[in-house]
Amino acid sequence: MKIINAGLGRTGTTSLKVALERLGYGPCFHMFDIVGDEARLAQWEKIVCDGQSPDWDAVFDGYNSAVDGPPSIYYGEMAKAFPEAKMILTVRDPERWYQSTYDTLYQFVLMNESKRPDPRSMPARIYRVTSTMVWDGLFGGRFSDKEHAIEVFERHNREVVESIDAGRLLVYDVKQGWEPLCEFLGADVPPDPFPHANDTATMREQLARAAGGAP
């Protein structure tokens, strides 16, 4: 593991994944790697829901980088497990982050609450993992309270900056493009434009599929 992203979802994590793979740091783990993968989902259920102490090398075997959740929640443990890995904190304007998250990721919560799928189904199991980590975990069941959610978001970012050595960490807005990322990684700037992946419409379609319904 060479790169760990500690930024929460909807801070450009998918764009960062594409960029890292373009720079040779792939395969890059993303939360959507869990969706549809029975073995990987079961692995994270044991870690997140059952509190099993993971073998991080085994969990991320085959990956050279990791972004989004669960890395953003377990960044501290991962930073210790992979002491040579560089850390990236993706950031975004808090108001825009909240609205984007509410319009996309949080809709998965609302879909599951309204459909109440079979608890043994993959959508229900993914919901349990994400809720334990994020909605009930990080946000204490209060994500719909915008002021509280933004406070948690800003606190998370502060804690990353305060807990990771400054020389190891890049605080990064994907709007900055290739230059700061490549400088941090010691990589050449690619000639092609910086990727912009998973806009709101695309993400909503993916979440609808993950919830077991049509987009």
Helix (H), strand (E), coil (C) string for 38-77: HHHHHHHHHHHHCCCCCCHHHHCCCCCEECCCCCCCCHHH
> How many domains does the structure of the chain reveal?
1
Low-confidence ranges of the chain (pLDDT < 70): 198-215
pLDDT of 118 reads: 82
Token pair, residue 66, equals: 């990791």
Query: Could you list the residue range(s) of the whole structural domain that residue 170 is in?
Result: 3-211
pLDDT reported for residue 90: 98
The Cα 65–Cα 60 span in angstroms is 9
Which residues have C-beta within 8 Å of that of residue 176, sequence separation ≥ 6?
none
Q: What is the pTM of this model?
A: 0.92
- pLDDT for 113 equals 80
Q: For residue 191, what is the domain's CATH number?
A: 3.40.50.300
